[in-house]
Amino acid sequence: MAILEVKNIEKHFGSTQVLKDVSFSMEEGSALAIIGSSGSGKTTLLRCLNFLETPNEGSITVKGETLYDASRGTSQNERELRKKRLHFGMVFQSFNLFPQYTALENVMLAEQLLAKERPDYNQNKKAILEEIHAHGEALLKKMGLEQRENHYPHQLSGGQQQRVAIARALALKPDILCFDEPTSALDPELTGEVLKVIRGLADQKTTMIIVTHEMAFARDVADEIIFMDEGYIVEQGKAREVIEHPKEERTKQFLSRYTQG
Protein backbone atom coordinates (compact mmCIF):
# COMPACT_ATOMS: atom_id res chain seq x y z
CA MET A 1 0.00 0.00 0.00
CA ALA A 2 1.21 3.47 -0.80
CA ILE A 3 2.31 5.46 2.24
CA LEU A 4 1.17 8.70 0.63
CA GLU A 5 -1.56 9.25 -1.88
CA VAL A 6 -2.30 12.68 -3.24
CA LYS A 7 -5.33 13.03 -5.46
CA ASN A 8 -6.45 15.89 -7.69
CA ILE A 9 -4.99 18.68 -5.57
CA GLU A 10 -5.90 22.17 -6.73
CA LYS A 11 -4.73 25.35 -5.11
CA HIS A 12 -5.32 28.93 -6.07
CA PHE A 13 -4.29 32.21 -4.52
CA GLY A 14 -6.94 34.68 -5.61
CA SER A 15 -7.26 34.27 -9.36
CA THR A 16 -3.85 32.63 -9.85
CA GLN A 17 -4.05 28.88 -9.95
CA VAL A 18 -0.84 27.44 -8.52
CA LEU A 19 -1.62 23.72 -8.48
CA LYS A 20 -3.73 22.07 -11.15
CA ASP A 21 -5.03 18.54 -10.70
CA VAL A 22 -1.91 17.22 -8.99
CA SER A 23 -1.99 13.50 -8.21
CA PHE A 24 0.77 11.15 -7.22
CA SER A 25 1.55 8.43 -4.74
CA MET A 26 4.68 7.07 -3.16
CA GLU A 27 5.82 3.93 -1.39
CA GLU A 28 7.23 3.65 2.09
CA GLY A 29 11.03 3.89 2.14
CA SER A 30 11.28 5.58 -1.22
CA ALA A 31 12.58 9.01 -2.13
CA LEU A 32 10.68 11.27 -4.48
CA ALA A 33 12.28 14.31 -6.07
CA ILE A 34 10.21 17.17 -7.43
CA ILE A 35 11.91 19.31 -10.03
CA GLY A 36 10.78 22.24 -12.15
CA SER A 37 11.41 25.92 -12.65
CA SER A 38 10.62 28.55 -10.06
CA GLY A 39 6.92 29.26 -9.72
CA SER A 40 5.90 25.85 -11.03
CA GLY A 41 4.11 25.01 -7.76
CA LYS A 42 6.66 22.66 -6.15
CA THR A 43 6.92 24.54 -2.89
CA THR A 44 3.16 25.12 -2.69
CA LEU A 45 2.65 21.38 -3.06
CA LEU A 46 4.94 20.69 -0.10
CA ARG A 47 3.21 23.39 1.93
CA CYS A 48 -0.15 21.76 1.20
CA LEU A 49 1.16 18.44 2.49
CA ASN A 50 2.28 20.12 5.71
CA PHE A 51 -1.02 21.99 6.02
CA LEU A 52 0.71 25.33 5.84
CA GLU A 53 -1.67 25.91 2.95
CA THR A 54 -5.11 24.38 2.51
CA PRO A 55 -5.78 22.89 -0.92
CA ASN A 56 -8.97 24.08 -2.58
CA GLU A 57 -9.64 20.69 -4.12
CA GLY A 58 -8.42 17.14 -3.75
CA SER A 59 -7.42 14.75 -1.00
CA ILE A 60 -4.33 13.68 0.90
CA THR A 61 -4.09 10.19 2.35
CA VAL A 62 -1.27 8.90 4.53
CA LYS A 63 -1.07 5.20 5.46
CA GLY A 64 -4.68 4.75 4.47
CA GLU A 65 -5.89 7.58 6.68
CA THR A 66 -7.48 10.46 4.79
CA LEU A 67 -5.93 13.57 6.30
CA TYR A 68 -7.63 15.99 4.02
CA ASP A 69 -10.52 15.81 1.62
CA ALA A 70 -11.78 19.09 0.19
CA SER A 71 -15.08 17.57 -0.93
CA ARG A 72 -15.90 16.46 2.60
CA GLY A 73 -14.84 19.78 4.11
CA THR A 74 -12.69 18.16 6.79
CA SER A 75 -12.90 20.15 9.98
CA GLN A 76 -9.55 21.73 10.74
CA ASN A 77 -9.43 22.40 14.43
CA GLU A 78 -5.98 22.96 15.86
CA ARG A 79 -5.76 19.67 17.71
CA GLU A 80 -6.47 17.56 14.63
CA LEU A 81 -4.34 19.77 12.44
CA ARG A 82 -1.35 19.31 14.74
CA LYS A 83 -1.78 15.55 14.71
CA LYS A 84 -1.94 15.55 10.92
CA ARG A 85 1.12 17.73 10.58
CA LEU A 86 3.13 15.24 12.60
CA HIS A 87 2.90 12.76 9.73
CA PHE A 88 5.18 15.10 7.83
CA GLY A 89 8.53 16.64 8.66
CA MET A 90 9.65 19.78 6.90
CA VAL A 91 13.08 21.18 6.12
CA PHE A 92 12.92 24.74 4.82
CA GLN A 93 15.05 26.50 2.26
CA SER A 94 15.93 29.19 4.82
CA PHE A 95 16.48 26.68 7.69
CA ASN A 96 14.18 28.58 10.08
CA LEU A 97 16.05 27.46 13.16
CA PHE A 98 14.93 29.18 16.35
CA PRO A 99 17.72 31.71 16.99
CA GLN A 100 17.32 31.85 20.78
CA TYR A 101 17.96 28.13 21.22
CA THR A 102 21.13 26.10 20.83
CA ALA A 103 21.40 23.40 18.18
CA LEU A 104 20.43 20.73 20.70
CA GLU A 105 17.56 22.78 22.14
CA ASN A 106 16.24 23.32 18.62
CA VAL A 107 16.17 19.57 18.07
CA MET A 108 14.61 18.78 21.47
CA LEU A 109 12.01 21.57 21.75
CA ALA A 110 9.08 20.00 19.91
CA GLU A 111 9.60 16.64 21.54
CA GLN A 112 9.71 18.21 25.00
CA LEU A 113 6.49 20.09 24.35
CA LEU A 114 4.74 16.99 23.04
CA ALA A 115 5.93 14.95 26.01
CA LYS A 116 3.99 17.28 28.32
CA GLU A 117 0.80 15.89 26.82
CA ARG A 118 1.69 12.35 27.85
CA PRO A 119 -0.43 11.09 30.75
CA ASP A 120 2.63 9.75 32.60
CA TYR A 121 4.63 12.96 32.15
CA ASN A 122 4.52 14.13 35.74
CA GLN A 123 5.47 10.77 37.22
CA ASN A 124 8.30 10.00 34.82
CA LYS A 125 9.35 13.53 34.01
CA LYS A 126 13.03 12.97 34.63
CA ALA A 127 13.29 9.76 32.65
CA ILE A 128 11.30 11.20 29.76
CA LEU A 129 13.44 14.32 29.56
CA GLU A 130 16.62 12.27 29.72
CA GLU A 131 15.37 10.10 26.91
CA ILE A 132 14.61 13.16 24.79
CA HIS A 133 18.06 14.56 25.55
CA ALA A 134 19.74 11.33 24.48
CA HIS A 135 17.62 11.20 21.35
CA GLY A 136 18.52 14.78 20.45
CA GLU A 137 22.22 14.11 20.96
CA ALA A 138 22.02 10.97 18.85
CA LEU A 139 20.33 12.85 16.02
CA LEU A 140 22.96 15.59 16.01
CA LYS A 141 25.68 12.96 16.05
CA LYS A 142 24.06 11.33 13.06
CA MET A 143 24.31 14.71 11.32
CA GLY A 144 27.99 14.92 12.26
CA LEU A 145 27.32 17.80 14.63
CA GLU A 146 28.16 16.34 18.04
CA GLN A 147 30.70 19.12 18.55
CA ARG A 148 28.12 21.80 17.85
CA GLU A 149 25.36 20.88 20.31
CA ASN A 150 25.66 24.03 22.37
CA HIS A 151 26.18 26.46 19.52
CA TYR A 152 23.51 28.97 18.65
CA PRO A 153 22.32 29.06 15.03
CA HIS A 154 24.18 32.29 14.22
CA GLN A 155 27.43 30.60 15.27
CA LEU A 156 26.96 27.84 12.69
CA SER A 157 27.59 27.79 8.95
CA GLY A 158 24.62 27.52 6.60
CA GLY A 159 25.35 23.86 5.99
CA GLN A 160 25.52 23.14 9.71
CA GLN A 161 22.30 25.06 10.31
CA GLN A 162 20.53 23.04 7.66
CA ARG A 163 21.79 19.80 9.19
CA VAL A 164 20.45 20.89 12.58
CA ALA A 165 17.14 21.63 10.83
CA ILE A 166 17.14 18.10 9.39
CA ALA A 167 17.80 16.64 12.86
CA ARG A 168 14.98 18.80 14.23
CA ALA A 169 12.59 17.50 11.57
CA LEU A 170 13.64 13.90 12.26
CA ALA A 171 13.15 14.25 16.02
CA LEU A 172 9.40 13.64 15.84
CA LYS A 173 9.89 10.57 13.59
CA PRO A 174 7.65 11.76 10.76
CA ASP A 175 6.31 9.25 8.25
CA ILE A 176 7.46 11.43 5.40
CA LEU A 177 10.24 13.99 5.47
CA CYS A 178 9.85 16.93 3.10
CA PHE A 179 12.72 19.08 1.86
CA ASP A 180 11.96 22.43 0.28
CA GLU A 181 15.03 23.30 -1.79
CA PRO A 182 17.29 22.45 1.14
CA THR A 183 20.47 23.65 -0.53
CA SER A 184 19.30 26.69 -2.47
CA ALA A 185 20.61 29.09 0.18
CA LEU A 186 24.03 27.41 0.34
CA ASP A 187 27.28 27.72 -1.59
CA PRO A 188 28.47 24.64 -3.52
CA GLU A 189 30.78 23.43 -0.76
CA LEU A 190 28.10 23.57 1.93
CA THR A 191 25.58 22.11 -0.51
CA GLY A 192 27.77 19.02 -0.68
CA GLU A 193 27.69 18.35 3.06
CA VAL A 194 23.90 18.71 3.24
CA LEU A 195 23.33 16.49 0.20
CA LYS A 196 25.60 13.87 1.76
CA VAL A 197 23.36 13.79 4.83
CA ILE A 198 20.20 13.46 2.70
CA ARG A 199 21.86 10.71 0.70
CA GLY A 200 22.58 8.92 3.97
CA LEU A 201 18.93 9.17 4.92
CA ALA A 202 17.92 7.73 1.56
CA ASP A 203 20.28 4.79 2.13
CA GLN A 204 18.47 4.13 5.41
CA LYS A 205 15.18 4.04 3.54
CA THR A 206 13.76 7.25 4.97
CA THR A 207 10.59 8.18 3.09
CA MET A 208 11.36 11.56 1.58
CA ILE A 209 10.01 14.17 -0.80
CA ILE A 210 12.74 16.49 -2.02
CA VAL A 211 12.09 19.66 -3.96
CA THR A 212 15.43 20.45 -5.56
CA HIS A 213 17.33 22.13 -8.34
CA GLU A 214 20.23 19.68 -8.05
CA MET A 215 19.51 17.45 -11.04
CA ALA A 216 22.41 15.05 -10.63
CA PHE A 217 21.49 14.60 -6.98
CA ALA A 218 17.83 13.96 -7.82
CA ARG A 219 18.88 11.38 -10.40
CA ASP A 220 21.22 9.53 -8.03
CA VAL A 221 19.28 9.65 -4.79
CA ALA A 222 15.60 9.69 -5.70
CA ASP A 223 13.70 6.62 -6.78
CA GLU A 224 11.11 8.62 -8.63
CA ILE A 225 11.03 12.10 -10.08
CA ILE A 226 8.13 14.42 -10.73
CA PHE A 227 8.64 17.30 -13.14
CA MET A 228 6.24 20.18 -12.61
CA ASP A 229 5.47 23.13 -14.81
CA GLU A 230 2.89 25.87 -14.32
CA GLY A 231 1.10 23.92 -11.62
CA TYR A 232 0.81 20.67 -13.56
CA ILE A 233 2.72 17.45 -13.17
CA VAL A 234 4.16 17.21 -16.68
CA GLU A 235 6.08 14.01 -16.27
CA GLN A 236 6.73 11.46 -13.58
CA GLY A 237 8.66 8.23 -13.54
CA LYS A 238 11.82 6.44 -12.48
CA ALA A 239 14.47 9.00 -11.60
CA ARG A 240 17.07 7.92 -14.16
CA GLU A 241 14.47 7.65 -16.90
CA VAL A 242 13.10 11.13 -16.38
CA ILE A 243 16.50 12.80 -16.22
CA GLU A 244 18.21 10.85 -19.00
CA HIS A 245 15.34 10.07 -21.34
CA PRO A 246 12.56 12.55 -20.75
CA LYS A 247 9.47 11.90 -22.84
CA GLU A 248 7.78 15.27 -22.75
CA GLU A 249 9.00 18.18 -24.82
CA ARG A 250 8.73 20.59 -21.87
CA THR A 251 10.88 18.31 -19.67
CA LYS A 252 13.56 18.06 -22.34
CA GLN A 253 13.59 21.81 -22.68
CA PHE A 254 13.94 22.26 -18.92
CA LEU A 255 16.67 19.65 -18.50
CA SER A 256 18.68 20.83 -21.49
CA ARG A 257 19.62 23.93 -19.52
CA TYR A 258 21.25 21.75 -16.90
CA THR A 259 23.04 19.33 -19.22
CA GLN A 260 24.49 22.23 -21.18
CA GLY A 261 26.07 23.12 -17.91
DSSP 260: T
Q: Does 151 bind other proteins (CB under 8 A)?
A: no
**In this chain, which of 36, 58, 153, 231 binds other proteins, going by CB under 8 A?**
153
Q: Determine, following the binding rule CB under 8 A, whether residue 77 of this chain makes contact with other proteins.
A: no
Residue of 215, 223, 212, 168 whose CA lies nearest to 186: 212
**Residue 149 and residue 102 in contact, taking contact as beta carbons nearer than 8 Å:** yes
Rank residues 91 and 225 by Cβ distance to other proteins and give the closer one.
91
- Are the C-beta atoms of 91 and 162 separated by less than 8 Å? yes
Shortest distance (Å) from residue 165 CB to other proteins: 8
Q: Is 185 in the site for other proteins (CB under 8 A)?
A: no
- The single residue among 99, 119, 188, 261 that binds other proteins, judged by CB under 8 A, is 99
Q: Which stretch binds other proteins (CB under 8 A): 89-97, 118-126, 182-190, 207-215?
A: 89-97
Q: Closest distance between other proteins and the C-beta of residue 240, in Å? A: 31
CA distance linking residue 222 with residue 13, whole number of Å = 30
Among 23, 29, 54, 82, binds other proteins (CB under 8 A): 82
Nearest-angstrom CA–CA distance, 60 and 80: 14
Say how far apart CA 228 and CA 250 lie, in whole Å: 10
Buried residues in 33-44 as b, exposed as e (16+ CB within 10 A): bbbbeeebbbbb
6 beta partners:
24, 60
Instruction: Write each residue from 111 to 140 as x if it is in contact with other proteins (CB under 8 A), else as -, in one continuous string.
Output: --xx--------------------------
Query: What is the smallest separation between the CB atom of 175 and other proteins, expressed in angstroms?
Result: 13
For residue 254, state whether it binds other proteins (rule: CB under 8 A): no
CA dihedral 77, 68, 32, 21 (to 10 degrees): -130
Site residues (vs other proteins, CB under 8 A): 50-52, 78, 82-83, 85-86, 88-90, 92, 94, 96-101, 109-110, 113-114, 152-154, 168-169, 172
